[in-house]
Amino acid sequence: MITIPADQLKRQIAEVYRTWGMAEAHIATTVELMVEADLRGIDSHGIGMLPTYEQYRREGKLNVTPDIRIVRELPTLVLIDADHSLGHVPAEMAMRKAIAKCHETGVAIGSVRNSNHFGAAGVYSTMALEEGLIGICVTGTTQRSVVPTFGREPMYSTNPIAFAAPAKRNRPFSLDMATSTVAVGKLKIAERAGKELPVGWVVNEAGRPETNPTAALDAKPKRLTPVGGTRELGSHKGYGMAMLVEILGSILSGSFVGGRDLKTEQPGRFINVGHFFLALDPAFFRGEPGAFEADLDALIDYLHETPPADPDRPVLVAGDPEAEARAERLAHGIPMTDRLFEEVREVARGCGAPFILEAA
């Protein structure tokens, strides 16, 4: 592993996007959101996605000069068409719109259609925290890679859910999870590191556990498991949560499911991902300013005080690991495998962008 300062990663990604011809305002937003995922320790959704984005661009699945626009708008609702751009800019626009509307109405929803991969869902839900709001984000995906309970073939994908709520004294609660046992990016991380996959992450075409990350990634299609792994361990619950995400993210916005049109079962020229965002003002329900945050502090304290099974591993709540990773990485840099370092070099070389990364 090598480490790269966050600012250097930002400059490198910006150089690539500038060479693509992306607008400077779009570059700034996309770079910030990608590196924020890396800072939080979500390595599968930051610069690790750059080789995939370059592949999408080369295959014509990505519009780097989009006309992102509002299609319809009401006091509590907004629908945005991403014009097949990377998802970061339209997603940020939808969440910011929902937040602004929420201050007027107490709750608001943003939906995005004709989008693409947008990085880490938790980056968007936590935007609401800055305004004292609860934030929710779910998204469709670019491929089909998760096998439903009792099935043999993948019919949907990792379908993430992110939920964030503000505390006052403690770190905010911030859940960011896939409804699959792991995200596809985790397989790439394991392959880059030369590690086997844990049993239960992936199955092969016969439905048996697959522990070779290269075989799991090379499989066409990929076959991840829903949260739970097996019916006996509750995979039907992960499957059900994934359908909630698909309905809100994909069906509501009129987008593809896992990169395919449900009516024809065919991929189109573009991937057509859909996103869903909600902002909710807890002050409306509590009346007294700060009451919600104080009670959430009490709940977080209550959970932190749980007697640990291992004294060296205290009980955490969602958001703790990301906050600790962010502090560490801001101070000491973002870790990259040698393989990802070389993959980014190849992206830069392939599009004619300067390669400026230097291993610390």
Regions of the chain short of the pLDDT cut 70: 360
Looking up tokens 């309970």 gives 149
Report yes or no: 190 and 196 within 8 Å, Cβ to Cβ: yes
Q: Which residues are paired to 37 by β-bridges?
A: none
What residues have CB less than 8 Å from 318, skipping those under 6 apart?
A: 173, 174, 175, 176
* Tens-place pLDDT, residues 66-94: 999 999 999 999 999 999 999 999 999 99
Give the pLDDT confidence score for residue 286 in this predicted structure: 92
What residues have CB less than 8 Å from 97, skipping those under 6 apart?
A: 70, 78, 80, 108, 110
Q: Record the pTM.
A: 0.93
| % of the chain surpassing 70 pLDDT | 100
Give the pLDDT confidence score for residue 14 in this predicted structure: 98
Of 254, 269, 340, the residue nearest 46 (C-alpha): 340
Give the pLDDT confidence score for residue 360 in this predicted structure: 64
The topology under which CATH files domain 67-181+224-305 is Ribosomal Protein S8; Chain: A, domain 1 (3.30.1370)
The topology under which CATH files domain 1-59+320-360 is Hypothetical Oxidoreductase Yiak; Chain: A, domain 1 (1.10.1530)
Superfamily of the domain at 184-223:
Hypothetical oxidoreductase yiak; domain 3 (3.30.60.50)
Structure tokens that stand for 215 in this block: 């075989």
DSSP letter string, 145-187 = -BPPTT-SS--B----EEEEE--SSSPPEEEEE-SBSS-HHHH
Of 196, 163, 160, 164, the residue nearest 181 (C-alpha): 160
- In terms of DSSP H, where are the helices of 235-337? 235-246, 283-286, 291-304, 320-332
Name the residue ranges covered by the structural domains of the chain. Answer: 1-59+320-360, 67-181+224-305, 184-223
Of 183, 185, 47, 36, the residue nearest 123 (C-alpha): 36
Give the pLDDT confidence score for residue 26 in this predicted structure: 98
Distance CA 228, CA 146 (A): 12
Distances in Å between the Cα of 161 and the Cα atoms of 32, 184, 192 are 21, 15, 26
* Tens-place pLDDT, residues 102-132: 999 999 999 999 999 999 999 999 999 999 9
